[in-house]
Every structure is written in structure tokens, then in C-alpha cells.
Amino acid sequence: MTSLLLDHSFEKWNLGSVPKYRLEQLRHWIFDQGCLHWDEMTNLPKSLRDDLARNWDILPMELIRSQGSSDTTQKFLWKLRDGQLIESVLIPATEGTQGVRASRMTLCVSTQVGCAIGCKFCASGLDGLKRNLSTGEIVGQVLLARIQAKRRIDNLVFMGMGEPLANLPALLPALDQILSPKGLGIGARHLTLSTSGLAPKIVELASYPAQIRLAISLHGGDDETRQKIMPINKRFPVEELLNACEAFIQARKKMITLEYILIEGVNDDLKQAELLASHARRLNAKINLIPYNRVEGLHWNRPSIHQIHAFLKKVESGSPPRVTLRMEKGHDIDAACGQLRLREMNDSPQAATLM
């Protein structure tokens, strides 16, 4: 299951008798050059390249499907060594003001195959958890997506399949490789972990040294509403979750984001908007409002545009927190987490039996 190189940070690479300076050359090829073929690493002796090719794999996965949408959001389906499928989504965005515009690439990364949390609206959790991803499978998504994109990736969001905080033993070493200037060199401030609210893990994460960003999937202002769609709320109710967020903010001196998907008739009434705004004020948090992205086979819907705007207006009234309404890109390619995999499994009985 392990990818022999990527599952260990390069300081810990151990390829038998291969000397340190050769390991540095290897690191340079893989992380700086994005070269994933032994025979192209031309400054290594042929005998070493042959030896490496016989004994070691660089990546623990391969691309089996890529889908692009009209707005050029791109979705990748990766097949892991044991046949499991995971996905990553590449989302371009043009940012900038006063005529200075820059295009930035955001990659949405998976951390598990499936998910044990079982939020009722989510495609990733439908089949439960198959397994955690290894460090190499997490880093591999970024390396391979960067090659597909043919450019650097500016932002990473851990909002693909799985609950990142339920896989910290593999995730934290992956973050080390992703953040290190000797690895992928992505700045901590450009990396966001999203969690369904595992309160004790949020507190644990507060001691991770790098200044990564944290987003909380709140999706309900009170226990009754949140519990309708997020069974995890029974274990970690809203108040306990908010307390954990406060501990994180206090330790990190860092603003967090509250994510709130809007589902018709479930959490879109104005009372919830008031509660959401009050939680955001308490935490001095930003809010991302995301109209629900329909999942095949599930009965949830996004509210009308009228209701979405009424909800937004309510959140913004009074002493307004910073709130963004995200009409997401990639709607037409099933960009919400777990959906491409779901389709692949439904379309292809062979893929489904591999699960």
C-alpha cells in the first residue's frame, strides 16, 4: 500500500546504499521538476536508474479519468494500487483589482476513500469508509495534478473525499512534504483543511506548527437542525464544536471560516441565518455560503435563488461578519465531493467490484 518514496519525507528516504547526494538529485527530479520516470532522470547513472525501476515505485496511483467543464474546472479520478478510486478537482480563478488580474489554481484534495462521518447530503459518505489514504496518496494527488495543469498550484483545499482530521497520522506528514520548500513549496496560508467538526482533533491541530487555515462545516445553527443532516453532531454538539474553534483561534491567532451549505427546507430559514451570524461574530469567523449541489439518488435540493438571497441578507444584517456566497464552479462535472467516483462506480460494475 505504501508508495516507497512519497510515504516518507525525503529526510527519511532510505533506498539502501544510495548516497545522500543522489537522494537529493532524486528529490529535485520528483518535486522540483515533476519528473516521475526513472529513465528520464538523466544525471543518475543508468545502472542506478535500472535498479530503482526494478525495486521502487514513485507514485502509488494513476490517472484513469479526467473531466473538464466549460469553465475549465477539471476533475481527476485516480486509481490506487488496490483498485480504490479517489478524486481531486482543479479550479482556476481569476483574481485581482484595478486592472491587475492574476489567474490562480486551487486544487481540492481527498484524504480518505469514502468517509465514515456519514453526512446525509454527501456523496462521499454513502458507502461508509473504505480506508484512509496514505501520505503518498495525498501528496501524489498534488504532484500529479500539477503535472496535468502544467503550472504551479497556488491553493490547496482539503475538501475532497473524506474527513481530513480523521486521518491525521497520514495527513500531517503529507502537509510537511507539501509545505516544505524542498517538497511542493506551497505556503501554509494557501492551504485549508475542512472538517465536519471533530472537536478534539481541532484542538490537537492547534499545535501543528505551520499557519494552515481551518474551515468548519457547520451547516446548521443549532443542534436540532445540524443533527438532521450531520450525525456527527450527536458526538460533538454545536457548543462543543464552537468551544474547540475558540481554543484553536486562541492558540493560533488565526481567523477560521464557517462553511454553510444551503439545503432547501432543512437549514435555509432565517432563524438559522441569525444563529449562523451570531456564531460567526462570536468566533470572529468568515462565512462561506454554498448552495447545495445535487447528488444523484439523494432527495436534497438547493433553495430558490430568492431564498438564498434572503438568507444572505439576513446573515449580513446587524453587525455583519465577512460573508461570501459561492455559486460553485464545476457544477456540471459533479464537482461536489465524492460525486465523480459515485458515477464511475454506478457506470462501471467492474470498478464497483474493485471497491
The residues carrying an active-site annotation are 87, 337
**Contacts with ligand SAH, residue ranges (CB under 6 A):** 121-122, 159, 163, 194-196, 217, 259, 261, 290, 292-293, 295, 336-337
Q: Which partner, ligand SF4, ligand SAH, none, binds residue 84 by CB below 5 to 8 Å per kind?
A: none
> Is 30 or 262 the residue whose CB approaches ligand SF4 more closely?
262
Q: Which stretch binds ligand SF4 (CB under 6 A): 39-47, 117-125, 169-177, 288-296?
A: 117-125
Q: Which of 208, 199, 193, 205 is nearest to 162 (CA)?
A: 193
- How many residues in the shown chain lie near ligand SF4 by CB under 6 A? 12
Taking a C-beta distance cutoff of 8 angstroms, is the pair 155, 106 a contact?
yes
Identify the CA nearest to 264 among candidates 222, 306, 320: 306
Binding to ligand SF4 by CB under 6 A, coded x per residue (else -) over 189-228, reads -------x--------------------x-----------
Q: How far is the CB of 294 from ligand SAH (least distance, A)?
A: 7
> Quick check: 122 binds ligand SF4 (CB under 6 A)?
yes
Q: Which residues of 207-240 are buried (b: 16+ CB within 10 A; e: fewer)?
A: ebeeebbbbbbbbbbbeebbebbbebbeebbbee
Angle value at C-alpha 125, between 120 and 129, nearest 5 degrees: 145
Query: CA-to-CA distance for 52 and 48, rounded, in angstroms?
Result: 6
Subset of 261-290 contacting ligand SF4 (CB under 6 A) = none
Q: Beta-carbon neighbour count of residue 127 at 10 Å?
A: 17
In the complex, the smallest distance separating the C-beta of residue 74 from ligand SAH, rounded to whole angstroms, is: 18
> Does residue 211 sit in helix, strand or coil?
coil
The minimum distance between CB 67 and ligand SAH, in angstroms, equals 17
Site for ligand SF4 in 319-338 (CB under 6 A): 337
What is the H or E stretch that residue 90 is in?
A: strand 85-97
| Binding range to ligand SF4, per CB under 6 A, among 118-126, 173-181, 305-313, 345-353 | 118-126
What does 336 interact with, of ligand SF4, ligand SAH, none (CB < 5 to 8 A by kind)?
ligand SAH
Q: Which three cell numbers stand for residue 65?
A: 479519468
For the bound state, the minimum distance from the C-beta of residue 162 to ligand SF4, rounded and expressed in Å, comes to: 6
Say if strands 85-97 and 100-108 run parallel, antiparallel, or are unpaired: antiparallel
For 85, the grid coordinates are: 478510486
Give 258-278 as a DSSP string. Answer: EEEEE-TTTT-SHHHHHHHHH
- Which residue stretch of 13-21, 110-118, 134-142, 247-255 sits at the interface with ligand SF4 (rule: CB under 6 A)? 110-118
Footprint of ligand SF4 (CB under 6 A): 115, 117-119, 122, 124-125, 162-163, 196, 217, 337
